[in-house]
């Protein structure tokens, strides 16, 4: 994704002169990990351990990336990040851009950093021919829920997220593919 700023957007697009959105690179690994740590602190979770941090860097910036990381800078200071990856809808027969994380440091909230980052990712989804963009929101995160509602996002009440941890998967019997 190219660098996005107000001058590169359509005439009707909002203006974000202090914000720069760009794809993160290996040189941004420390900044990226610091933002992931800040999200963990915000959610009152333990940050990724050393092994997880190495996997994040490899999965974002290695030779076979599994995720894409984006940074939002406010006046040159890293202010937010997002992680996305493609999924696929068999019924639309189109890709979906899945937004795993989007996080704005508290000091930069209210400065339109999250809006600029989200709009840049929505533009990326359109450019890639995605039929939709999806993400999950923690039920206690009223700030995020209200933000997405203002943008017109739908809460899919009929779909319930289910999860198996690695430990759950390890407890299942193996049945290799033929």
For the chain, domain boundaries: 6-171
- Answer yes or no: CATH 3.40.630.30 is held by domain 6-171: yes
Q: Give tens-digit pLDDT for 121-136.
A: 999 999 999 999 999 9
Marked catalytic residue, from 81, 88, 98, 148: 148
Residue 144 reports pLDDT greater than 60:
yes
pLDDT, position 3: 45
The model's confidence at residue 64, banded by pLDDT at 50, 70 and 90, is very high
Tokens standing for residue 53: 């941090």
pLDDT, position 160: 86
> What mean pLDDT, rounded, does the chain reach?
92
Q: Report the pLDDT averaged over residues 92-102.
A: 97
The closest of 7, 2, 29 to 18, measured between CA atoms, is 7
Place of tokens 């351990």: 49
pLDDT, position 2: 42
User: Could you confirm whether 148 is annotated as catalytic?
Assistant: yes
Task: Report the share of the chain in percent with pLDDT over 70.
Answer: 93
pLDDT, position 14: 82
Range with the poorest average pLDDT among 28-37, 61-70, 138-147: 138-147
Residue 161 reports pLDDT greater than 70:
yes
pLDDT, position 15: 87
């Amino acid at each position: 994704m190219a660098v996005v700023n107000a001058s590169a957007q359509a005439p009707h697009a909002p203006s974000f002169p202090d914000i720069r959105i760009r794809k993160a690179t290996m040189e941004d690994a420390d900044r990226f990990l610091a933002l992931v740590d800040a999200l963990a602190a915000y959610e009152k979770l333990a940050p990724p351990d050393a092994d997880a941090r190495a996997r994040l860097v490899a999965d974002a910036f290695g030779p076979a990336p599994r995720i894409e990381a984006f940074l939002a800078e406010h006046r040159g200071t890293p202010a937010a990040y997002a992680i996305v990856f493609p999924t696929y809808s068999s019924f639309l027969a189109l890709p979906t851009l899945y937004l795993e994380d989007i996080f704005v440091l508290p000091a930069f909230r209210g400065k339109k950093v999250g809006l600029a980052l989200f709009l840049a990712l929505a533009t990326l989804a359109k450019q890639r021919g995605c039929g939709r963009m999806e993400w999950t929101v923690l039920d206690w995160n009223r700030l995020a829920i209200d933000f997405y509602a203002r943008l017109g996002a739908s809460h899919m009440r009929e779909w319930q997220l289910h999860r198996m941890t690695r430990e759950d998967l390890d407890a299942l019997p193996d049945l290799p593919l033929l």
